[in-house]
Amino acid sequence: MNIIIIGGGAAGMMCAARLISKENKVILFDHNEKLGKKLFITGKGRGNLTNSADREEFLKNVVSNPKFMYSSFNAFDNVETESYFNTLGLKTKTERGGRVFPLSDHAYEISDVLKNAMKKNNIEVKLNEGIKDLIIAESKIQGVISDKGKKYTADRVVVATGGRSYPQTGSTGDGYTFAKKAGLKITEISPSLVPFNADLNICKKLQGLSLKNVNVSVTLESGKKLYEEFGEMLFTHFGVSGPVILTASAKLDRKYLNEKLFLHIDLKPALDNETLDKRLINIFKENHNKQYKNSINSLFPSKLIPLIIELSGIDPEKECNRISHEERRKLLNLIKDLKISLKGFRGFEEAIITKGGVSVKEINPKSMESKKIKGLYFIGEIIDVDALTGGFNLQLAWSTAAAAAKSILGNTEE
């Protein structure tokens, strides 16, 4: 049997590594000069391999179409993934939040062990050669045509081209073109796990400031809450980023993106209004002869203080004993609700993943084979399945790749 895999990223390499059969000829194509380019930057270069969460918790972190993942995840879950990589020679460790990394903290080791496994399987790898077209006849895959004009016949073709995120790693969106040619539906794609552009009048002043243990929410202009999370965020020269912001981009319903959105930050979520008011009263009493601008150092990081003073509307030279009840209430409301106008997502070039892709209704969840074209498979980020940060998205690649390999080898139970 001739098998062609298009794309040498996480999913493509995993699929190739698991196609263990002397009777098959497997060729993996990648238009890059090396395999696993996107893998090199996962986990900030440390390679967040998977997450150790139990099945129920793991699937809660799959944002789009988690039910589609039941079969493939059950057949090759996070525990089996870590065990598999261990048998390939990759030593691993588990850190905060269940994140699993190579012991060495080097993402390239993930690629290395997969490349070694492919070599043992006699997988032929063609670098610097992409695929520009599929050959389909009578609802069955027949082969591919490379960007060098060569035709390759195939009994099975696996599309593992990734999404549109990080195009500098070679993610061009070619796979969507292949899927459309095969008559498959593509759901709307958009950047996900991506920072937001936001009000520069605020964000530029706070550039580089990281806030920990804050509560953030995203609302419409009407006040309707679309998202809420507790954690860490970061101000940048263009807007906001950090864990809770990236999660917001994944969970936010795309139908609201053309409306006015606002980020609300509770700077002191551990204190209710009454407790915070008492604290402000005490601070102003203790500093009764000091100027307001010199009294609130204990409440905020130094970079945040000038903005708080500005937005509170209280004269910075005013002595604390002259601050009115109304002024104190306005400051309290500002601390509990620092409101920033959002201006939409950053682009695919900064997105960790792509939301949307080949509709899960078009794919057999057990085998990853197209329901319309026999012998054509889709795995990894190209499918309309995505998850939060923490190793969950790479696991989607591993599980779908393993499912396709198992099906191709004829081991899928009917």
User: What average pLDDT does the structure give for the chain?
Assistant: 95
pLDDT higher than 70, residue 411: no
Beta carbons of 217 and 269 less than 8 angstroms apart: no
Q: Cα–Cα distance between 80 and 249 in angstroms, integer?
A: 30
Q: What is the pLDDT of residues 293-337, one digit of tens each?
A: 999 999 999 999 999 999 999 999 999 999 999 999 999 999 999
Instruction: Quickly list DSSP for 122-145.
Output: T-EEEET--EEEEEEETTEEEEEE
Q: What is the pLDDT of residues 215-252, one digit of tens each?
A: 999 999 999 999 999 999 999 999 999 999 999 999 99
Q: Give the pLDDT of residue 414.
A: 36
Q: Cα–Cα distance between 339 and 216 in angstroms, integer?
A: 10
H runs (alpha helix) in 156-298: 174-181, 200-203, 243-251, 273-286
Q: Which tokens go with 179?
A: 């899927």
DSSP β-ladder status, 386-387 and 62-64? antiparallel
Q: What is the pLDDT of residues 20-39, one digit of tens each?
A: 877 899 999 999 999 999 89
pLDDT higher than 60, residue 412: no
Q: Give the pLDDT of residue 165.
A: 86
Q: What is the pLDDT of residues 69-101, one digit of tens each?
A: 999 999 999 999 999 999 999 999 999 999 999
SS3 call for 343 = strand
Nearest alpha carbon to residue 352 among 105, 161, 97, 164: 164
Q: Cα–Cα distance between 89 and 87 in angstroms, integer?
A: 5
What integer is the mean pLDDT of 264-290?
96
H runs (alpha helix) in 172-312: 174-181, 200-203, 243-251, 273-286, 305-312
Q: What is the pLDDT of residues 303-312, one digit of tens each?
A: 999 999 999 9
pTM of the model: 0.91
Q: What is the pLDDT of residues 194-222, one digit of tens each?
A: 999 999 999 999 999 999 999 999 999 99
Q: What is the pLDDT of residues 138-181, one digit of tens each?
A: 999 999 999 999 999 999 999 999 998 877 776 778 899 999 99
